[in-house]
Amino acid sequence: MKKFIRVLGWVFWLWVLAMVLLQAASLFINGASRETLTVISELLIFVWLGLIYLFRRPLTNIIRIIPNHYWRFVVVGYLSTVVAELVYMFSKPIHQAVSWDLILTAPWYLLWLIFWFSILRKYNYTLMEAFILGGLHGFIIEGLLNNPLLAFVGFPLFIALYGSFFIVPYLLMKEDFQKQQSASLRRKIIMSFVPLIAFVVGAIWILLLVKTFNLTLH
């Protein structure tokens, strides 16, 4: 079983690498545009996670200036999503103005973090489980609801990208979750879908702002 999981892991990351290389080739061949520059945004997301992982020890100590675990998780998590929104501003922004982009996405991200904190506090998710299941939300929202065919082609990439910025608060705070309960993987998977409720609220918020202020989304 462990050997199978290891092979599956290699397939996953090789698939991600292949998708990134194909996009890089498109950028080289077709030149810079919002669509082709997406690969730069994706690479910056991976760099972000790499830096967080590399400096996780000092960062863990720094974020403890926020004494409350709940607020620490939400603040750190939201800052990570802000980084994600900023690196996509030149390729795939929701709105071309940074201020509107952050206002439009804030409710979804904040509610998602609140739900996710509650679930992580209760159940003992490994970092890899949290990475994959958190990233799965990106596959559902960014992929399946927009372009199902493309979503399945880029399935590992969606998970890797969303997992990379959603995992940040848990990566830095895993040791602070002292009262987690053991649970079956099936239970963890089912409970991980609860935060998707936040997307419904977020979608209503975006629709309300678009209608009220006559915004043009990208």
| pLDDT per 10-residue tile (average), the chain, 218 residues | 80 94 94 90 96 97 95 96 91 84 92 95 94 90 74 87 95 92 93 91 91 85
* CB of 74 closer than 8 Å to CB of 67: no
pLDDT on residue 169: 97
pLDDT on residue 104: 92
Output 199-207 pairs: Cβ under 8 A, ≥24 positions apart. 199/108, 199/112, 199/137, 199/141, 201/107, 201/108, 201/111, 202/105, 202/107, 202/108, 202/109, 202/111, 203/108, 205/104, 205/107, 205/108, 206/94, 206/104, 206/105
pLDDT on residue 132: 94
What six digits make up the tokens of 189? 């998977």
Dmax of the chain from CA atoms? 54
Residue of 77, 82, 132, 113 lying closest to 194 (CA atoms) = 113
Residue of 42, 105, 52, 100 lying closest to 76 (CA atoms) = 52
Angle at which helices 98-122 and 185-192 cross, to 10°? 150
Q: From CA 121, how far away is CA 47, in angstroms rounded?
A: 27
SS3 assignment, position 217: coil
Q: From CA 195, how far away is CA 105, in angstroms rounded?
A: 15
* 181 CB burial (10 A radius; 0-12, 13-18, 19+): exposed
**Whole-structure pTM value:** 0.92
pLDDT on residue 44: 95
